[in-house]
Amino acid sequence: MDRPALATFLSRRREALRPADVGLPPGARRRTPGLRREEVASLAGMSTDYYTRLEQRRGPHPSAQLLTALARALRLSDDERDYLFQVAGHNAPRRVLASPHVAPALLRVLDRLDDTPALILSALGETLVQNRMACALLGDRSGYVGLARSEVYRWFTEPEHERRMYPEADRDRQSRAQVANLRVAYGMLGDASAAGDVVRALLRKSPEFAELWRRHEVAKRFADHKTLLHPEVGAIEVDCQVLFTEDHAQALLVLTAAPGSDGHAKLELLNVVGHERFTSPRT
């Protein structure tokens, strides 16, 4: 049980909710954001004292039944619920195991995508396989080894190389998305996993990561629309579609552009130009 992480996560989720989000009237003017502790306790069917002790890092080890009630009271997503169980010392109701084996169903879809960039990612952002167009747009990601196989690790340890594909104005949002995605993987796989290894390494190496990690944001985030900067064809606006496996262990990411758009024309040009040779991945 990670008492500090549990306490911080509960308080952050409580502060993010409004009374209307859980069917409560606004009531009198509130001095602090979010729900009150007694409101969360009532929604979860527990005493205010018990819930307060959890947020003060001195509560007893909560049961799985109590965690389920808290997840419901705080309106947690599946990803956030899994993380809550993990930091409280329980296996999540839906356990996901990491595997380098590519899900056959996703691979069948990828095999049929030849004229638009597509790649399959693990929960840690490791590129498991990418098609020819993804190599042309993003560079060949097959050469990374060790922790550098994880995109979030590279994002914070090699920012000059990894972030150059994004406009400067979008990089902060991408940083938050990377950390929120890693929180999901950490919640699913646990501290004694590759996700835990990545977290510990980044906490040592990147103050920026450490600051974002303390926010306890948990979500699978893929921007619906983004601009990517390619060294040969320039800025390309693309739409992102994501298809997950049932256990959310892997995701197929497809990048497209509307027919007749500038982005579509640049993808077609990229299809002809072929693979731009990026700096070789560090090992």
Express as a percent the part of the chain with pLDDT over 90.
52
Burial class of residue 33, CB neighbours in 10 A (0-12, 13-18, 19+): exposed
Residues 166 and 228: beta-carbon distance below 8 Å:
yes
- Distant-in-sequence contacts of 15-22, Cβ < 8 A, 24+ apart: 17/74, 17/75, 21/75, 22/73, 22/75
Give backbone dihedrals phi and psi of 230, rounded to 5 degrees, phi first. Answer: -105, 135
pLDDT confidence of 275, banded at 50, 70, 90?
low
pLDDT at 28: 64
The more confident residue out of 279 and 199 is 199
pLDDT confidence of 33, banded at 50, 70, 90?
confident
Interstrand relation of 250-256 and 234-244 (parallel, antiparallel or unpaired)? antiparallel
pLDDT at 34: 84
Q: Is the pLDDT of residue 162 over 90?
A: yes
In eight-state DSSP terms, residue 150 is B
Mean of pLDDT values over 101-122:
87
Express as a percent the part of the chain with pLDDT over 70.
91
User: For the whole model, what pTM was predicted?
Assistant: 0.75
pLDDT at 98: 57
Spatial distance between the Cα atoms of 80 and 215, rounded to a whole number of angstroms? 13
Mean of pLDDT values over 25-52:
83
Spatial distance between the Cα atoms of 133 and 140, rounded to a whole number of angstroms? 10
Q: Which range is least confidently modeled, 28-32, 43-47, 90-94, 181-185?
A: 28-32
pLDDT confidence of 8, banded at 50, 70, 90?
very high
